[in-house]
Amino acid sequence: MEDIRFCGQVLETQQRSLIIALAKRYGRLSRHELAQTVCELLDWRRPNGQPKTIECRALLERMQEAGLIGLPALKSGRPQGTRTRVLVSPDPEPAATDAPLATLQPIRLRRVATLGERTLWRTLIERHHYLGHRVPFGAHLRYLIQTTSPSPMVLGCLQFSSPAWRLKGRDQWIGWDDATRAQHLQSVICNSRFLILPHVRVPNLASHVLALALRTVATDWTAAYGVKPLLAETLVDPARFTGHCYLAANWIDVGLTTGRGREDRQHTRHGVNPKRIWLYPLVPDARQRLTQAP
């Protein structure tokens, strides 16, 4: 029988049997509730003690695809893989902000925490980012890019989330094998959304924000999830963007992806829309620490 992995680790026979038994016994639970139950019984937790519910639910759905378990149907109106609907208001766009970076200092990153901030973040991303808003896989932190000079203003949005399981260019640059990747992958974070609002035309703002973001998220991620990030990654669509702001912020270009994506388990999308991979070591010895034997 083909191996099934959870967060890089092959499921043990006892773990697989327990999940199958739970799915049969608690068939009336929602997928989210079943995932929480599995995490509690198998003690699948992040370093901060929170259960790995999102990753576990993805595991349950893979096991269903393999015919090992049955899961309750998804709620009506939310088919698997659909995007969270964000209502975008018809308010007119602000006047263009065309100013030197120095006149907008200090630039700050406000971590999204309240309902109002979440709604604003989602609305801006849905309206202005070409990928729109999607609920990220695994751990994530979101920020609003703000200035108070000469008046309070939101300039854009950022999101950091869990990294890709496999990225050829990244994995070759690090030099790790499957075992060390499974051991250290949670020490990598992904800049999965970066938006400077289209009416904001400020030279060097993007690279300045990236530098500020890496200092900020390293501290925030450690506090939120109990893991100190050692490396940041991002993917840039070369058909849309040059990635110049990442180059200016000293990120490293390590090549192109295969163009598949996280959910392409049947390898049907090879070569479709490849992205350029950029990396930024958050500590001087990132490669050494990411390749330490488990």
Go through 77-107 and write b for each residue having 16 or more CB atoms within 10 A of its CB, e for each that does not: eeeeeeeeeeeeeeeeeeeebebeeeebeeb
Residues 202 and 68: their CA atoms lie apart, in Å, by: 54
Global confidence as pTM:
0.75
Helix (H) or strand (E) holding 38, with range, is helix 31-42
Structure confidence by residue, pLDDT tens digits, 232-275: 999 999 999 999 999 999 999 999 998 755 444 444 444 458 99
122 shares its domain with 30:
no
Residues 78 and 178: their CA atoms lie apart, in Å, by: 34
- Which residues make beta-bridge pairs with 191? 160
E strands within 112-222?
Answer: 140-147, 153-161, 188-196
- Structural domain including 18 reads 5-65
Residues 88 and 69: their CA atoms lie apart, in Å, by: 39
**72 in any annotated domain:** no
**88 in any annotated domain:** no
Number of domains forming the structure of the chain: 2
**82 in any annotated domain:** no
59 shares its domain with 106:
no
Structure confidence by residue, pLDDT tens digits, 141-166: 999 999 988 888 999 999 999 888 88
181 shares its domain with 231:
yes
Q: Can you give the pLDDT at residue 21?
A: 87
264 shares its domain with 151:
yes
**95 in any annotated domain:** no
Q: Which residue shows structure tokens 């049947």?
A: 266
**How many residues does this entry show for the chain?**
294
User: Which of these three, 65, 93, 110, is where a domain ends?
Assistant: 65
54 shares its domain with 126:
no
Residue 174's identity, in one-letter code, is I
54 shares its domain with 114:
no
Q: Can you give the pLDDT at residue 75?
A: 65
Residues with Cβ within 8 Å of residue 77, at least 6 apart in sequence: none
Q: Can you give the pLDDT at residue 4?
A: 86
Q: Can you give the pLDDT at residue 294?
A: 63
Which residue ranges in the chain fall short of pLDDT 50?
Answer: 78-82, 84, 86-90, 262-271
Q: Can you give the pLDDT at residue 93?
A: 63
**225 in any annotated domain:** yes
